[in-house]
């Protein structure tokens, strides 16, 4: 399993003041400018269905990357946790199913969604952390499947098969925040906060200890840490991120149904994280962009080639297979190798800046 | 809470550092430890000798709680810790090193030691990065210095040489304010120079800090310990002052292997 970024630079936990502007890398400014001008150059469809959607999926995958990359815990329940949040927004807020929806204001519904999803995810963690490796995957998959059947069969709370539609979002200052551009900005702010939040926390005592648990759980106990509590806390943190993403997802789609949290989507989150790369929090976002692009345009490509459009899953699968085949650490790994090759001196075969 | 802490401090003033009563440990049908009873006074330095498979490491595992004993009781500074998980024993001042290094290979040397310092203090779950002048960070730097690893402070532990990993192992066990440390063959595989440095570190530890050390090399063991426990087949075979053990005929026969032990 690929592990999260290792501290190879010699930089330690105390390095530099974060407010020092000169320390902000160029990539940050490029990223910021791109994110700011995207709404100007991208149409509504691209903005909504590609970029905003990819950032939401990226956040859910990021919550998995945090658990897997820093804690070596592969959870297949992250989509379910986001789905719980989405359902709660629909149940506590407004929707077309007014026999179920309680009609709370949007912010109260969103808060309820995030809190309940965090609690749900923490409980999932409490069950899962006593197992290791493949058993963690099995248990979290079982929880995901169980939740899927629960919402599909329960009509009193989840409206069963058809789920909840016309879910309301925030409307104030004369803006409908579910419109493409406002929702894009809300999502961007959340995704950027989640991204930097994970980077920041990874170097905090909590994040370092999680990496300690990953590297050697037994030694952590012999240093005074409660390994189980630490793992559960990691689930709580990851669930919070997934919960926020769930709120954004239901605002984006306006609906949530059993299909949102099926086993397929649960596995898609894992694929996104692995294909993007688990070594750095940017990986899940790269994976999500690739996933959404493939999903959206695979049909067109297939039809253009004279093949049946319904085979688009095949093309997605092939794309992922290729990435994983050429790099054990996803797109991140490909990028790293590409850069190393560029740096290599063609005569000596050694890195120029080593 | 405050009461129990006060009671603990009062109790530990007079209590033994370590008290084992009838400790046994089975691995399936194999008795790795059988009916071990021993007492270590506060500040005492004890060497544990015995051939491979004698049960020395298992004894350490039972004391720290890595493996709970199958039967018997363990008191640490007067408090019965038999049912405690490892971290609760560590927070009461117990520390250990491992015969085979257990380090965090994906983190830097300083991060490793910082984790050790953090583990026995508050804020283990803190999501705030420590400020530059953080006291724990400073003590981590001091510990890195004490085991001569300052030049490697930012190095990934996976990239350390064997001897350096052994030194880091010791630094992790000395973090916080240890009251009793278990060293599991810290000298094994070290070069003569590294061995000398190790002895310096051990003899330089503050007087109130007791320890127990597993060491095959009699010369090292006798220089760093005041009392010796000999183990054989999971039992305590002899206990006494170094000279007594060295001169004991049974010990010579069993352990020093007739003639090889002379000086
Ligand atoms: N985790 C374990 N599982 C099974 N047997 C073990 C385990 N640890 C130790 N043993 C057995 O217990 C006996 C004592 O081992 P150990 O305490 O490591 O000896 P020493 O440290 O004195 O060389 C050995 O026979 C060993 O094989
Ligand atoms: Mg041993």
Strand order in the sheet with B45-49: B94-96, B180-184, B210-214, B45-49, B227-232, B235-240
How far is A187 from chain B, CA to nearest CA, in Å? 23
DSSP label of B226: S
The answer to whether the CB of A84 falls within 8 A of the CB of A117 is: yes
Residues 6+ apart with CB under 8 A from A350: A344
Q: How far is B133 from chain A (nearest CA, A)?
A: 8
Q: How much distance in Å is there from the Cα of B26 to the middle of ligand 2?
A: 16
What does pLDDT average to over chain B? 85
The pLDDT of residue A132: 82
Residue B4's contacts (CB-CB under 8 Å, 6 or more residues apart) are none
Residues of chain B with Cβ-Cβ distance to A19 below 8 Å are none
Residue A141 structure tokens: 């998959």
**For residue B259, pLDDT beyond 80:** no
CA-based nearest distance B5→chain A, Å: 17
Return phi, psi of residue B26, to 5°: -105, 140
DSSP alpha helix (H) spans, chain B = 2-14, 56-64, 86-90, 109-119, 135-146, 162-173, 192-203, 218-224, 242-247, 249-251
Structure-token match 């060295």, residue found = B246
Task: Look at residue A190 and tell me whether its pLDDT is greater than 80.
Answer: yes
Q: Half-sphere exposure (CA, 13 Å, Cβ side) for A220?
A: 24
Q: How confident is the model at residue A7 (pLDDT cuts 50, 70, 90)?
A: very low
- Is A13's CB within 8 Å of B130's CB? yes
Q: Is the pLDDT of residue B146 over 70?
A: yes
Q: Which atom of ligand 1 is nearest to the CA of B52?
A: 23
Residue A209's φ and ψ, nearest 5 degrees, are: -65, -35
Q: What is the pLDDT of residues B68-99, one digit of tens each?
A: 999 999 999 888 899 899 999 999 999 999 99
- Tell me which residue of B1, B58, B73, B120 sits closest to A226, measured CA to CA: B120
A212 phi-psi bin (left φ>0, alpha ψ -120 to 50, beta other):
alpha
Q: Would you say the ipTM is above 0.90?
A: no
Question: Distance (Å) from the C-alpha of residue B182 to the closest C-alpha of chain A?
Answer: 11
State the smallest CA–CA distance between residue A74 and chain B in angstroms: 18
- CA-nearest residue for atom 7, ligand 1, is B27
Name the residue at shortest CA distance from atom 5 of ligand 1. B27
CB contact (8 A) between residue B118 and residue A218: no
Residue to mutate (ligand 1; options B25, B57, B69, B185; most atoms within 8 A of CB) = B57
Report how far residue A291's alpha carbon sits from residue A273's, in angstroms, rounded to the nearest whole number: 10
CB contact under 8 A, A219 and B104: yes
**What are the chain B neighbours of A12 within 8 Å (beta carbons)?**
108, 110-111, 153-154
Q: What is the pTM of this model?
A: 0.84
* Nearest CA residue ID for atom 18, ligand 1: B57
Residue with structure tokens 């092939």?
Answer: A318
Residue-wise pLDDT tens digits, B12-71: 556 888 999 989 999 988 988 999 999 998 889 999 988 888 899 999 999 999 999 999
pLDDT digits (tens, 9 = 90+) for A56-71: 999 999 999 999 999 9
pLDDT for residue A309: 65
Binned at pLDDT 50, 70 and 90, residue A219 comes out as very high
CB of B240 less than 8 A from some CB of A = no
Nearest to B75 by CA among B141, B8, B128, B29: B8
Cα A139 to ligand 2 centre (Å): 36
Of A6 and B204, the structure prediction assigns the larger pLDDT to B204
Model confidence at A9, pLDDT cuts 50, 70, 90, reads: very low
Residue A6 and residue A257: Cα distance in Å, rounded? 39
Q: Of the candidates B63, B25, B76, which has an alpha carbon nearest to the alpha carbon of residue B235?
A: B25
Q: Which candidate in B127, B133, B175 is best for mutational testing of the A interface (most A CBs within 10 A)?
A: B127
Alpha carbons A21 and A32: distance in angstroms, whole number:
14
Distance B122 CA to ligand 2 centre (A): 32
Q: Work out which ligand 1 atom sits closest to the CA atom of B50.
A: 22
Which ligand lies nearest to the CA atom of residue B67 in the structure? 1
List, for residues A270-285, the tens digit of each pLDDT value: 988 988 888 889 989 9
Say if the Cβ atoms of A13 and B137 lie within 8 Å: yes
Hey, is the C-beta of B143 within 8 angstroms of any chain A C-beta? no
Spell out which residues of chain A touch residue B123, defining contact as CB-CB under 8 Å: 205
Q: Which ligand lies nearest the alpha carbon of B61? A: 1
| Residues in contact with B93: Cβ distance below 8 Å, sequence separation at least 6, in sequence order | B76, B77, B177, B178, B179, B180
Q: Which residues pair with B180 in a beta bridge?
A: B94, B210
DSSP codes of every residue in A210-278: HHHHHH-HHHHHTTT--HHHHHHHHHHHHHHHHHHHHHHHHHHHS-B-GGGGSHHHHHHHHHHHHHH-S
Q: Which residues of A touch B172 (CB under 8 A)?
A: 219, 223
Tell which one of B26, B32, B61 to mutate to probe ligand 1, the residue whose CB is within 8 A of the most ligand atoms. B32
Q: Which residue has the tokens 């004890």?
A: B46
* Residue B249 C-alpha from the chain's centroid: 29
Kindly report the nearest CA distance between residue A256 and chain B, in angstroms.
33
What residues flank ion ligand 2 with Cβ within 5 A? B 57, 99
Task: Report the alpha-carbon distance of residue B200 to residue B217 in Å, rounded.
Answer: 16
Distance of CA A222 from the midpoint of ligand 2 (Å): 17
* Interface contact A224-B172, CB threshold 8 A: no
C-alpha B56 – ligand 1 centre gap (Å): 8
B151 touches chain A (CB under 8 A): no
Both tokens assigned to B163 = 């001897």
Residue nearest to atom 27 of ligand 1 (CA): B53
Instruction: State the virtual CA torsion across B78, B209, B137, B193 in degrees, nearest 10.
Output: -140
Residues forming a β-bridge with B236: B231
Q: Which of residues 6-35 of B touch A (CB under 8 A)?
A: none
Contact of B166 with chain A, judged by CB distance below 8 Å, is answered with: no
Which residues, listed in sequence order, are joined to residue B26 by a DSSP beta bridge?
B31
For chain B, the straight-line distance linking the first and the last C-alpha, in angstroms and rounded, comes to: 54
CB atoms within 10 A of CB A212: 29
| pLDDT score of A2 more than 90 | no
Q: Which ligand is nearest to the CA of B98?
A: 2
Q: How far is the CA of B53 from the centre of ligand 1 (A)?
A: 6
Asked if the Cβ–Cβ distance from B105 to A215 is below 8 Å, we say yes
pLDDT-derived band at A14, boundaries 50, 70, 90:
very low
Contact B56, B48 (CB under 8 A): yes
For tokens 């050790």, what's the residue?
Answer: B116
């Amino acid at each position: 399993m690929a592990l999260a970024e290792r501290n190879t630079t010699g930089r330690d936990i105390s390095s530099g003041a974060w407010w020092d502007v000169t320390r902000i890398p160029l990539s940050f400014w490029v990223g910021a400018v791109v994110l700011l001008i995207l709404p100007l150059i991208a149409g509504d469809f691209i903005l909504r269905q590609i970029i905003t959607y990819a950032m939401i999926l990226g956040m859910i995958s990021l919550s998995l990357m945090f658990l897997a990359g820093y804690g070596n815990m592969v959870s297949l329940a992250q989509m379910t946790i986001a789905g719980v949040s989405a359902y709660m927004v629909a149940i506590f807020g407004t929707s077309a199913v007014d026999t179920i929806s309680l009609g709370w204001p949007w912010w109260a519904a969103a808060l309820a969604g995030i809190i309940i999803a965090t609690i749900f995810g923490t409980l999932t963690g409490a069950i899962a952390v006593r197992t290791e490796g493949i058993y963690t995957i099995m248990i979290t998959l079982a929880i995901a499947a169980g939740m899927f059947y629960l919402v599909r069969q329960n009509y009193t709370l989840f409206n069963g098969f058809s789920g909840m539609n016309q879910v309301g979002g925030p409307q104030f200052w004369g803006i409908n925040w579910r419109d493409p551009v406002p929702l894009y900005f809300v999502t961007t702010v959340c995704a950027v906060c989640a991204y930097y939040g994970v980077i920041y926390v990874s170097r905090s005592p909590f994040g370092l200890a999680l990496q300690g648990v990953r590297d050697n759980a037994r030694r952590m106990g012999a240093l005074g840490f409660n390994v189980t509590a630490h793992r559960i806390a990691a689930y709580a943190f990851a669930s919070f991120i997934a919960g926020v993403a769930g709120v954004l997802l239901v605002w984006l789609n306006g609906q949530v149904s059993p299909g949102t949290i099926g086993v397929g989507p649960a596995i898609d989150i894992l694929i996104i994280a692995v294909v993007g790369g688990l070594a750095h929090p940017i990986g899940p976002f790269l994976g999500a962009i690739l996933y959404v692009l493939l999903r959206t345009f695979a049909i067109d490509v297939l039809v253009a080639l004279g093949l049946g459009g319904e085979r688009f899953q095949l093309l997605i699968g092939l794309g992922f297979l290729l990435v994983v085949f050429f790099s054990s650490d996803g797109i991140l790994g490909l990028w790293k190798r590409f850069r190393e090759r560029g740096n290599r001196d063609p005569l000596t075969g050694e890195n120029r800046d080593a | 809470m405050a009461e129990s802490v006060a009671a603990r401090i009062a109790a530990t003033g007079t209590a033994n550092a370590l008290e084992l009563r009838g400790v046994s440990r089975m691995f399936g049908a194999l008795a790795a430890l059988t009916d071990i009873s021993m007492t270590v006074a506060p500040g005492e330095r004890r060497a544990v000798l015995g051939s491979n498979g004698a049960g020395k490491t298992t004894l350490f595992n039972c004391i720290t709680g890595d493996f709970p004993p199958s039967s018997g009781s363990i008191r640490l500074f007067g408090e019965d810790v038999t049912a405690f998980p490892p971290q609760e024993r560590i927070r009461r001042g117990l520390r250990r090193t491992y015969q085979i290094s257990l380090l965090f290979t994906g983190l830097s040397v300083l991060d490793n030691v910082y984790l050790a310092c953090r583990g026995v203090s508050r804020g283990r779950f803190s999501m705030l990065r420590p400020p530059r002048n953080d006291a724990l960070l400073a003590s981590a730097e001091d510990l890195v210095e004490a085991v001569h690893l300052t030049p490697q402070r930012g190095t990934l532990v996976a990239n350390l040489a064997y001897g350096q990993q052994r030194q880091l192992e010791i630094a992790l066990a000395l973090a916080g304010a240890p009251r009793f440390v278990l060293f599991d063959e810290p000298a094994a595989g070290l070069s003569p120079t590294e061995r000398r440095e190790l002895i310096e570190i051990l003899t330089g530890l503050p007087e109130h800090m007791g320890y127990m050390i597993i060491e095959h090399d009699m010369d090292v063991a006798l220089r760093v310990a005041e009392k010796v426990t000999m183990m054989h087949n999971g039992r305590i075979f002899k206990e006494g002052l170094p000279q007594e053990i060295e001169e004991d005929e049974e010990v010579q026969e069993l352990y020093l292997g007739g003639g090889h032990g002379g000086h």
